[in-house]
């Protein structure tokens, strides 16, 4: 018996109707946290370039944010972000 899976027919305990005695299939609704079956293209898929001969495709310029708020003051951080946006 599959109690916590998508498509479980144990249903009456969780609000689904039990299968009819006539042999008609029971209506099974997908679980609210089930994966979405359709996924669109990745963000920036057309902007990525190959990374040497690794087979990995990445953005041509990546801005790391580890230093913001740690070694960089607010004014300098804003200037860096403005320059990156340009």
pLDDT tens-place string over residues 9-66: 544 444 445 555 566 667 778 888 888 778 777 777 778 889 899 999 888 877 777 7
Phi, then psi, of 75 in degrees rounded to 5: -65, -45
Q: What is the pLDDT of residue 1?
A: 44
Report how far residue 5's alpha carbon sits from residue 19's, in angstroms, rounded to the nearest whole number. 17
Residue 74, in any domain of the structure = yes
Residue 5, in any domain of the structure = no
- In which element (H, E) is residue 49 found? strand 49-50
Residue 12, in any domain of the structure = no
Buried b (16+ CB within 10 A) or exposed e, 5-20: eeeeeebeeeeeeeee
Residue 54, in any domain of the structure = yes
* Residue at token pair 């740690």: 70
> What average pLDDT does the segment 65-81 reach?
82
Domain count, the chain: 1
Residue 67, in any domain of the structure = yes
Give the range of the structural domain holding residue 56, as residue numbers without chain letter.
49-83
Residue 71, in any domain of the structure = yes
Residue 2, in any domain of the structure = no
Instruction: Give this prediction's pTM.
Output: 0.32
């Amino acid at each position: 018996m599959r109690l916590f899976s998508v498509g479980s027919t144990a249903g009456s305990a969780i609000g689904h109707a039990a299968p009819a005695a006539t042999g008609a299939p029971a209506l099974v609704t997908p679980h609210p946290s089930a994966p979405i079956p359709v996924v669109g293209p990745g963000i920036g898929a057309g902007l990525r370039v190959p990374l040497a001969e690794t087979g990995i495709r990445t953005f041509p310029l990546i801005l790391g944010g580890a230093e913001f708020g740690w070694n960089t003051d607010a004014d300098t951080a804003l200037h860096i972000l403005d320059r990156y946006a340009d």
